[in-house]
Amino acid sequence: MKIAEAFAVQDYGVVVTGGASGLGLGFAEGLAENGARVTILDVDAQRVAEETESLRGKGLDVRGEVLDVTDHVALDKAIDSAAAAYGRLDVVFANAGIDSGPGFLGSWVGSVRPRRTEGALENYTDERWNRVIDINLNGAFATLRAGARHMKPRKSGRMIVTTSLAALLVEPAIGSAYMAAKAGLAHLARSVALELAAYNITVNSIAPGFFITNIGGGHAKNPEVQRTLARTIPMHRVGFAEDIKGLALFLASPASAYITGQQIVIDGGWGLGAAD
């Protein structure tokens, strides 16, 4: 097989949850740029309309639908609709997620990281915890479940979930609900990978480090925040959506046919520690 054929996703039917911004938009655009037919699912109606129109303006085959992944009935219908529109469902990105607010430590102030009362365990409300778990973990579970219903009969498919470096490392600045959800999602992906391997369906995770997204209210878009974090990343820069397109294409394409149950970190070396 030629390399170009190994990465071919022409006419693939693809669904991306949380696809109207950030990494989800990068996944959607990257696959559409390579000939896939992509459905963006997102709770933000304005961004769905804007990004769908923008991608179509580039000649890409993209459709959009507004929904909340906590509504599993609507999610099932949307994925059924995408599969019907394309006559197939080849790839599902379970990407939708939110942050969980501050952790128990703040950013460094000199040699000290101040404690934050709003991130303390005793101040964590049920509402805050449950909302993060419901979107980040339960929403991904429902997405994989809906995808399996279409992929198993065809004995073919790719499922890709967005976890985080926070699924592997404890970072006190990040709320514990986010870390718990992403770690749970990583293990769920491994479990589903084992179950679906006999059906030629692969299930893998992408674990990003610090990327420019809307997580945390767009905090990552602040140039000063980016400069501060870049000093702690061995490659001395933060990640952008363009950086993740190649990995997404690899995991969605025939090139990754013999890889399943894996979590691939993409973080510029951040998880390795400081280099200088």
Annotated active-site positions, please? 178
Per DSSP, helices labelled H in 124-254 are: 126-132, 139-154, 176-196, 223-230, 241-252
Residue of 57, 248, 50, 82 lying closest to 149 (CA atoms): 82
Are 16 and 238 in contact by the 8 Å Cβ rule? The answer is no
Are 168 and 216 in contact by the 8 Å Cβ rule? The answer is no
Are 143 and 89 in contact by the 8 Å Cβ rule? The answer is no
- DSSP H or E segment with residue 159: strand 157-162
Residue of 90, 91, 115, 95 lying closest to 104 (CA atoms): 115
Q: Is 57 helix (H, G, I), strand (E, B) or coil?
A: helix
Around Cβ 27, how many Cβ atoms within 10 Å?
Answer: 31
Rounded CA gap, 157 and 243, in Å?
Answer: 24
Residue 237 burial by Cβ neighbours in a 10 Å radius (0-12, 13-18, 19+): middle
Rounded CA gap, 68 and 136, in Å?
Answer: 11
Are 241 and 22 in contact by the 8 Å Cβ rule? The answer is yes
Q: Which two tokens stand for residue 185?
A: 């999602």
Are 28 and 38 in contact by the 8 Å Cβ rule? The answer is yes
